[in-house]
Amino acid sequence: MIDSKAIKAIINKFMSDENTRAVIICDAEGLPIQSSFRGEQIERTEEISAYITSLISRGKQTVDVLGEGRLNFVRLETDKGEVMIAPQEGLILIVLRNSSAY
């Protein structure tokens, strides 16, 4: 498992980009480990983590059925920007970026 200093460094790296709105790192079960959201946004962090975990689970099932190997990355384009999702062993990295980022 990655240590807390490494997790904070990952979040700080992404948050140093002006187009990044938020960064969440959660475990494979969808429990947030660390987030750039603060205070009253804790519930939002938990909600996002749960939905993304469900999406990753479905994505992995789809990749398995297609025989495409392993799911490495998911990118969702939205009206507000993009959501980048990188599932790793035991962790999921979620980055929300503004539309001006691309």
Beta strands in 1-102 (DSSP E): 20-27, 32-35, 74-77, 81-88, 91-98
Q: Domain of residue 83: give its range.
A: 4-101
Domain count, the chain: 1
Residue 67 zone, left/alpha/beta (φ > 0; ψ -120 to 50; rest): left
CATH number at residue 30: 3.30.450.30
For residues 41-53, b (16+ Cβ closer than 10 Å) or e, as one string? eeeebbebbeebb
What number is the average pLDDT over the span 72-89? 94
CA–CA gap between residue 56 and residue 70 (Å, rounded): 11
- 22-77: per-residue pLDDT in tens? 999 999 999 999 999 876 688 999 999 999 999 999 999 999 999 999 999 999 99
